[in-house]
Amino acid sequence: MTRKLALIHTVGSLVPVFADLARELAPDATTTDVVDEALLGETIAAGRIPESTAARLEGHVRRAVEDGADLVMVTCSSVGPAVEAIAERTCWPLVRVDVALADRAIALGSRIGVIATLATTLEPTADLIRQRALAAGKDDREIQIVSHLCEGAFAALKAGDLDDHDSRVREGLRELIPQVEVVVLAQASMARVALTLDEAETGGRPILASPRLGMERAAGILAAD
């Protein structure tokens, strides 16, 4: 039986990224995409997830489930806490994209670096890692999180200055990497920059991004149902 995966995005450019991953990792599933960039814009403007934004996100998820989705994945880490709240309240088949990312980071190291270009993404990602560590039976003494915000990088990206964005992210990675055992990219848009670092710069430390890990988790859930 064909499984249906619904993807909800707050960044339109991620649609083809996840489409490619779905074809590779879940070739027997059919996918649908919803793009609502205002979800992220409103969260950035408020510095938190407004109630109206969370309600609109819930509406997107509800419609996907009503349309027959076997699983819904929200691909934005900034609205992750709202995704969790919706899943707990409704018991819908819903997952946030970065849960698998957090689990992999915990498995690879005890001193974890989290890097982001948005403060609204940085803290939810760090909180998720802490939550997943506790769920895995680890306490605060076993997991240390070192956070780094690449100031000005997101503004540069929005302005179309990719060189400035990439330079700020690259410098942030170079600063963070020596302090940790594994690096978590809180935003998928940073993965392209991480790939430009050579082994001398990474020191062999793994740098994790959410799209592939999230899609692997989604594919596993669909296959198990």
Q: Which two tokens stand for residue 97?
A: 């994209």
Average pLDDT over residues 24-53: 95
Helices 210-224 and 14-25, axial angle in degrees (round to 10): 40
d(Cα 74, Cα 66) in Å, to the nearest integer? 16
Average pLDDT over residues 6-27: 94
Spell out the domains of the chain, with CATH numbers in brackets. Answer: 3-97+212-224 (3.40.50.1860), 99-210 (3.40.50.1860)
For 121-130, the pLDDT digits (tens) are: 899 999 999 9
Average pLDDT over residues 80-87: 95
How many other C-beta atoms can be found within 10 angstroms of the C-beta atom of residue 35? 17
Sheet holding 29-35, edge to edge: 29-35, 3-9, 71-74, 94-96
Give the model's pLDDT for residue 140.
Answer: 74
Taking every pair of Cα atoms in the chain, the longest distance, rounded to a whole number of angstroms, is 50
Query: Is the per-residue pLDDT at 179 higher than 90?
Result: yes
The SS3 of residue 204 is coil
Q: Which two tokens stand for residue 2?
A: 């064909």
Give the model's pLDDT for residue 224.
Answer: 87
Least Cα distance to 202 among 223, 179, 218, 168 occurs for 179
For 98-120, the pLDDT digits (tens) are: 999 999 999 999 999 999 998 88
Query: Is the per-residue pLDDT at 1 higher than 70?
Result: no
Give the model's pLDDT for residue 193.
Answer: 86
The SS3 of residue 48 is coil
Q: Which position has the token pair 């959410």?
A: 210
Side chain identity, residue 214: G
Output the pTM of the full model: 0.91
Mean pLDDT, the chain, whole residue set:
93
CA dihedral 176, 179, 182, 183 (to 10 degrees): -10
Give the model's pLDDT for residue 96.
Answer: 94
d(Cα 104, Cα 45) in Å, to the nearest integer? 31
Element (H, E) at 92: none
d(Cα 4, Cα 222) in Å, to the nearest integer? 8
Burial of 1 (0-12, 13-18, 19+ CB in 10 A): exposed
d(Cα 67, Cα 161) in Å, to the nearest integer? 39
What separation in angstroms does the CA of 47 have from each of 16, 121, 155, 186?
28, 10, 15, 16
Side chain identity, residue 190: M
